[in-house]
Chains A and B, each alone.
Chain A
């Protein structure tokens, strides 16, 4: 008996409508579904095909996009902790690709990097197979020419449910992106220098693949949002007037002590898990805004931009909802002396913009070697004039200190992507359990392609 994973694209959110939408505002799409081909309840087996499709970003023309199974975003893979995921991947694109499972702790051979696998050539196939070890929101995308392939639409989301998920009345996944669409519907192929410097920033913001959608929510309801930023270069600094976000988790699942914030800053690659209680009456509308944030090179002068509208439905108000105050404790990794130092920078080499680690560009960044099972402290110093989201493959890290100041114990979190602010230094700690080769890089994808990427070899036990 085949089962269906929870997925959907361009289907409306299942909740009441007040009938007060602005003309042309689409409902927030849910994510697409994919068939589970396994009868074994402990496994999820799916087929993913990377292929070219058409998407309508503009009202009067369509855009050729690169997709998983024909949709942007690609399918949501819905799993539980401990589930084995098998993905039969076929590449029907005109160039080679891979799938990287961003944030998942898995065998290195399944990580989708060229360090560990041959690229999947056009017409070829590859099977990915691994167990979902950790609860949280993860995503998948290519690790071959990723700045171009992700920009064209190749990304999808994985939700791994844990055993102690918080209760909510409505849980919504927001996949944030942006895209530049020319009047003829095409995506630009030329990478200009501003886009090299800042990462591609599109002229259209997307939430679950559409621009300026509307989400209906019920007064008094407890809302949970799982948010991932899949944009190449854009940072999202989310604000919702009249609300604060209760941050209950991030890349690697929930945090022991949730905290409130007015602005939710999410760099490319990061995920946040937030909750709030809806107030107001039927028909009340609040706009989710992307507020300016200075990540370097005058980006803080950009104007605030609307992302989506939230509209209170005409259903009866819910009462007695409360926000969670704590979650299970995480294993805290020990502090100690720094084992490795990475210095991020930018500059000109032979007249071209490059992004460096320890004054070298990939693949010339010196290899880091660590024993399997060891705990390593890494100091990441950003000497450039812009923020860089630092991403480590294959394991989580914890933030020990920012500019020498120890992180508050209440902010303990498992991360795989973190903002290294301009002219600042982070001290991170990670345990490297899984042998093999692992990448680390800036998740502004143009920076990674421009050299800001390195490798860590986790050595097999003798």
Chain B
């Protein structure tokens, strides 16, 4: 959890350091956080292809326009796609969207009920997948959670 909090601070910093010479600092920080992300991602490590791809880091699941908006960090820079899975209540995870590997946010316009939705992400490259990311949950009707959901 400490890692997630640290990353949340980093995410704020990311918004503030998108330009010019800040890129080098960002790269250095990225290396540190990449190591943290390995500890945060779940799943088995016995698949060498999967182990080679780093999972995204889910940063925010927050209410927006009556649905849920997800923001994440792509720890692997050359994914073909980022796939998201969602579960409600105690049901199984199901894929809800797939976006190009450079994208780091997406609104789930179907998540509109007054309930907790839980998400996880993974990177896809060719036929290989990363482990799943950390999980985060959010309720689209919970305006107090507009800052970011919970892990």
Contact = CB atoms under 8 A, between A and B. Distances in A.
A306 B65 CA distance: 32
A193 B15 contact: no
Contact of A303 (B17, B64, B65): B17
A204 B19 contact: yes
Interface stretch (B2-10, B41-49, B106-114): B106-114
Given A302-B15, A351-B67, A211 B20 contact: yes
A65 B24 CA distance: 26
A347 interface: yes
Interface string A167-205: 000000000000000100000101011100100000111
A107 B38 CA distance: 62
A193 B65 contact: no
A203 B18 contact: yes
Interface string B14-47: 0111111000000000000000000000000000
A400 B66 CA distance: 34
Contacts of B112: 348
B110 A303 contact: no
Contacts of B122: none
Interface string B64-95: 11110101000000000000000000000000
A204 B18 CA distance: 8
Given A301-B15, A348-B67, A190 B100 contact: yes
A346 interface: yes
B59 to A, nearest CB: 12
A305 interface: yes
A224 B99 CA distance: 46
B65 A182 contact: no
Contacts of B66: 347-348
Given A346-B65, A348-B65, A192 B106 contact: yes
B128 interface: no
B20 to A, nearest CB: 6
Interface string A439-454: 0000000000000000
Given A352-B109, A353-B65, A212 B20 contact: yes
Nearest to A297: B64
Number of chain B interface residues as a range: 20 to 34
A348 B15 contact: no
A23 to B, nearest CB: 12
Contacts of B12: 301
Interface string A272-302: 0000000000000000000000000100011
Given A190-B103, A192-B104, A351 B109 contact: yes
Interface in A288-342: 297, 301-303, 305-306
Contact of B99 (A190, A205, A346): A190
A310 to B, nearest CB: 17
A203 B19 contact: yes
Interface string A28-41: 00000000000000
A352 B105 CA distance: 14
A351 B107 CA distance: 9
Given A192-B105, A347-B66, 15 more contacts: A182-B102, A190-B100, A190-B103, A192-B99, A193-B69, A193-B107, A197-B64, A203-B18, A303-B15, A305-B19, A347-B65, A348-B112, A350-B109, A352-B109, A353-B107
Q: Which 7 A-B pairs have CB atoms at the shortest separation, nearest pair first?
A: A351-B109, A303-B16, A193-B107, A194-B105, A192-B103, A190-B100, A348-B65
Interface of A: 182, 188, 190, 192-194, 197, 203-205, 211-212, 297, 301-303, 305-306, 346-348, 350-353
Interface of B: 12, 15-20, 64-67, 69, 71, 99-100, 102-107, 109-110, 112
